[in-house]
Chains A and B, each alone.
Chain A
Amino acid sequence: MPQHIKRLIGVFAIFIVLFLVMRQVLKPSSFGELGHFRAKAIYENTLRPMHYTIADSCTKCHKSIRADKDQGFHKKLKCEVCHGPGLKHSLFANQFKGKELPDSLILYKPGERKDCAICHQINAARIKILFDTINNTMIKQIDVAEHNPPDLKANEPAKCIDCHNPHQP
């Protein structure tokens, strides 16, 4: 074998060994176990904290509201649809019985016109649901600005919840 080929083989061997060593050092531990990614990342993705609770955890304590809600049109709605994420509240609010809740555990209490308008503001795309008798759903559509317009002379404009009980509308 010519001398220069031998040298070239030597150089190549050094590079290949160097590459293998570098790869071993730089490659994350679980890379390639399940594919071209770190298998550990699947586990890391499960570590995020939850915020929304599951359906029944609210009504364990708030029994009267459940009784109210079961008779009204909002019976299928989950509490968190209006009140926001409540996992923390459902876990820790029990410890503050009789005392005042800390701010972090107080859930949102919707009552403004804009809160109800999220579902009930009249809109051309919502009309179809109003007349949907097949699924037996009916979502009342009103023009929030025109429906019982707020009295400008009074200091506080009328809220929806002044007339309608949101748990039993």
Chain B
Amino acid sequence: MKNEKNSLTRRDFFKAGTILASGVAIAGSAVIPYDGVLFAAEAPGAKGKWYGIGIDINKCIGCGRCANACKQENNVPKDPFYFRSWVEQYTIKNDGSVLVESPNGGIDGFKQSVPDKEIFKSFFVPKMCNHCAKSPCTQVCPVGATFETEEGIVLVDENYCIGCRYCVQACPYGCRYIHPDKGTVDKCTLCFHRLKKGYQPACFEICPTEARIFGDLNDPGSKLNYFLKNHTCMVVKPHLNTGSKLFYNAISPEVR
């Protein structure tokens, strides 16, 4: 009995201990540390452009001109269930229940469906692709047909997409749809064709109240950075850690 207990010599103990410690160190170096980007206002590299979007809910009057402009500029199907950009009206009633309406994406205007007496507060929320820095939709694509450009814009390669709908499921903001004629996925490109010619995206160009602000997050003097510094902005669904670059001013926790 005594012999068995002392069978582990000092030399053996140090040997095993060193192997174990070095093993743990090697395995530990392979573990990627948590790199959450809850608020992607700071660009990863300080080179080039890093586009972001700001929306001021206090200024939005729900005219739906952005949704309309998006459809016309990008030839989005006119049916009321294909949208790259749309407006929702949130109505929080006195009893605490939340009503979300978006008749034809807000293109034809809104009609107040709840009488004034029952409304606690009501506001419009324009929605579009968040152009996430860690987009779930690009991560799930099995063929590499959707990707983030260096400027932080999430694009789709129409000629390479197989229409598997996986990314439509993955997007937590519901910003993708399958184009009925092409059979491939379609989404907001931040009017990439306009950007490259030096113009603003159509929805930003058209907003009558300047509720939508578009800019370069890498440029400290840009309109968007000014907007972010002067307002209390938040992204939608921050807990999903998508690195969303669509910042809302005065957003309520009810917005999903």
Taking beta carbons and an 8 Å cutoff, which residues of A are in contact with B?
A: 28, 31, 34-38, 41-42, 44-52, 54-55, 76-78, 80-81, 84-85, 114, 117-119, 121-126, 128-129, 132, 135, 137, 139
Alpha-carbon distance A76/B221, docked complex (angstroms) = 23
B160-203 CB contact bits vs A (8 Å, 1 = yes)? 10000000000000000000000000000100111011010010
Is A44 a contact partner of B159 (Cβ separation < 8 A)?
yes
Question: Which residues of the partner chain A approach B189 to less than 8 Å between Cβ atoms?
Answer: 45
Q: Judging by beta carbons under 8 Å apart, are A125 and B109 in contact?
A: no
Please state if A84 and B72 are interface contacts (CB–CB under 8 Å). yes
Distance (whole angstroms) from the CB of A79 to the closest CB of chain B: 10
The stretch among B126-134, B205-213, B232-240, B241-249 that forms the contact with chain A is B205-213
Q: Return chain A residues, CB-CB under 8 Å to B144.
A: 31, 35-38
Segment from B6-14, B26-34, B77-85, B115-123 that makes contact with A: B115-123
Residue among A45, A78, A135 with the most chain B CB within 10 A? A45
CB closest residue in chain B, given A74: B208
Instruction: Kindly list chain A residues whose C-beta atoms are within 8 Å of the C-beta of B158.
Output: 41, 44
Task: Supply 9 A–B pairs (Cβ within 8 Å), ascending by A.
Answer: A45-B155, A77-B208, A118-B108, A121-B110, A123-B62, A124-B119, A124-B121, A125-B62, A139-B209
Tell me the bound Cα distance from A75 to B91 in angstroms.
31
The answer to whether A78 and B206 touch (CB under 8 A), given A35-B147, A125-B123, A135-B59, is: yes
Task: Report whether over half of chain A's contact residues are helix, strand or loop; otherwise say mixed.
Answer: loop
Give B contacts to A, CB under 8 Å.
58-59, 61-65, 69, 72-74, 89-91, 108-112, 114, 116, 119, 121-124, 144-147, 149-150, 155-160, 189, 192-194, 196-197, 199, 202, 205-206, 208-210
Residue numbers in B under 8 Å from A42 (CB-CB): 149, 155
